Amino acid sequence: MDFQNDKKNITLVLGGTGKTGRRVAERLRRSGYDFRIGSRSAVPSFDWDNDASWDPCLKGVTSVYITYTPDLAIPGASDAIQAFVNKAKRKGVKRLVLLSGRGETEAQACERIVQRAGLDWTIVRASWFHQNFSEGAFIDMVMGGAITLPAGDTPEPFVDADDIADVAFAALTEDGHAGKIYEVTGPRLITFNDVAKALSKATGREISYVDVPHEAFVENIRQSGAPGEVVWMLDYLFATVLDGRNAHIADGVERALGRPAKDFVDYANDAAATGCWEVVA
């Protein structure tokens, strides 16, 4: 099937209102591709916890961008992915692009489900996003002037959500990406202290990094009223994934797109220019 030249193929974008999903959907829209948002708020509604909702979302769909909230590592995710992939295949889907977690054993189990489905597949394997600081869990910390996380001085090659979306869009619409695992990172390793310095410079105000005890951090998140899945995910990410296992860069962005990945400093400057971190007096 020539996905590149047939824009009438419907692409289902799961998590189509999230950080990467809405960016993938916007790229499909700008380029004239037919697509459907898969989310609880969309019509038809998509709910990972209700497989009956999947059928109308899959009607006429030939390719799917799969994101799983809050994370593929969460218990039960692999069962949901297996059930969805089975149904997608029965409904005539031909191509799957999975957003996976870098350094996550459980996420790699989900990758194998997609790889063994007998369909065209591409894996986009990512870890920490730049946009966590402007659109996600840590924006309030940035606004408050102190990034208080149990991250120590472990370096991480943060990756930009726009780079992830560009790779996913290419995999959904172009030939030549089937059977590829793109491990995507930024161009260099940085610590959370480096993040604070870059954000300070971009915003023109002092933003510090404060290393806090892990258990105290998790308890504070729990006491804040965050959903149990979010508490679990943050506990898992800081206790397990941020242990140095991902402290190396990968070339997935360059292999998929033929250009370098976006640096955190460039992201910080661009985000600051949007006014997302402006503090109203």
> 35-53: per-residue pLDDT in tens?
999 999 999 999 999 999 9
- The mean per-residue pLDDT over the stretch 175-190 comes to 98
pLDDT digits 0-9 by tens, 214-260:
999 999 989 988 888 889 989 999 999 999 999 999 999 999 999 99
pLDDT digits 0-9 by tens, 91-136:
999 999 999 999 999 999 999 999 999 999 999 999 899 999 999 8
With CA atoms as reference, report the closest residue to 173 among 33, 18, 29.
Answer: 33
Under 8 Å between Cβ of 164 and 132:
no
The Cα 159–Cα 100 span in angstroms is 13
Q: How confident is the model at residue 211 (pLDDT cuts 50, 70, 90)?
A: very high
pLDDT at 18 (0 to 100): 95
Under 8 Å between Cβ of 103 and 246:
yes
Q: How confident is the model at residue 7 (pLDDT cuts 50, 70, 90)?
A: low
The Cα 147–Cα 144 span in angstroms is 8
pLDDT over threshold 50, residue 1: no
Amino acid identity, position 254: E
pLDDT over threshold 90, residue 279: no
- The mean per-residue pLDDT over the stretch 190-194 comes to 98
Query: Any idea of the CA torsion for 224, 227, 233, 239, to the nearest 10 degrees?
Result: 30
pLDDT at 172 (0 to 100): 98
The Cα 127–Cα 100 span in angstroms is 8
Mean pLDDT (the chain, rounded): 95
Under 8 Å between Cβ of 151 and 242:
yes
Adjacent-strand bridge partners of 123: 98, 181
pLDDT over threshold 50, residue 28: yes
pLDDT over threshold 80, residue 79: yes
pLDDT over threshold 50, residue 22: yes
pLDDT over threshold 70, residue 6: no
pLDDT digits 0-9 by tens, 127-151:
899 999 999 889 999 999 999 999 9
Q: How confident is the model at residue 281 (pLDDT cuts 50, 70, 90)?
A: low
Q: Answer with the residue of higher pLDDT: 8 or 234.
A: 234
Under 8 Å between Cβ of 147 and 207:
yes
pLDDT above 70 covers a percentage of the chain that reads: 97
The Cα 9–Cα 234 span in angstroms is 37
CA 237 to chain centre: 14
